[in-house]
């Protein structure tokens, strides 16, 4: 079941603490999920990475440049770290 992200907190460059609508909370290292190229290239800069926010309509996290990550991918990365 897909659960929306409802809160995001930047812990350090590339690492986020996420809260999901069902109350689940976990940390994810975004650098392990994406290559910093294309739409994600700008996120290599810690200041730009820190502009992340929750888009309630999409139910996930987004950045001002249009980059986003699917909530299901984020949840899976937290629950089943590689």
Q: What are the tens digits of pLDDT across the range 1-47?
A: 468 999 999 999 999 999 999 999 999 999 999 999 999 999 999 99
Domain ranges of the chain: 5-79
pLDDT range class, residue 82, cuts 50, 70, 90? low
pLDDT of residue 2: 65
Between CA 25 and CA 36 the distance in angstroms is 25
Q: Give the global pTM.
A: 0.92
Helix (H, G, I), strand (E, B) or coil at 26: strand
Summarised one tens digit per residue, pLDDT across range 65-81 is: 999 999 999 999 999 87
Contacts of 30 (CB under 8 A, 6+ apart): 14, 15, 16, 43, 49, 69
Task: Decide yes or no: CATH 3.90.440.10 for domain 5-79.
Answer: no
């Amino acid at each position: 079941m897909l659960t929306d992200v409802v809160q995001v907190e930047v812990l350090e460059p590339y690492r986020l603490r996420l809260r999901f609508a069902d109350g689940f909370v976990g940390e994810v290292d975004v650098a392990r999920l994406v290559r910093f190229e294309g739409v994600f290239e700008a996120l290599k800069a810690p200041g730009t990475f820190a502009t992340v926010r929750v888009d309630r309509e999409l139910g996930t996290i987004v950045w001002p440049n249009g980059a986003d990550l699917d909530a299901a991918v984020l949840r899976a990365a937290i629950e089943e770290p590689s």
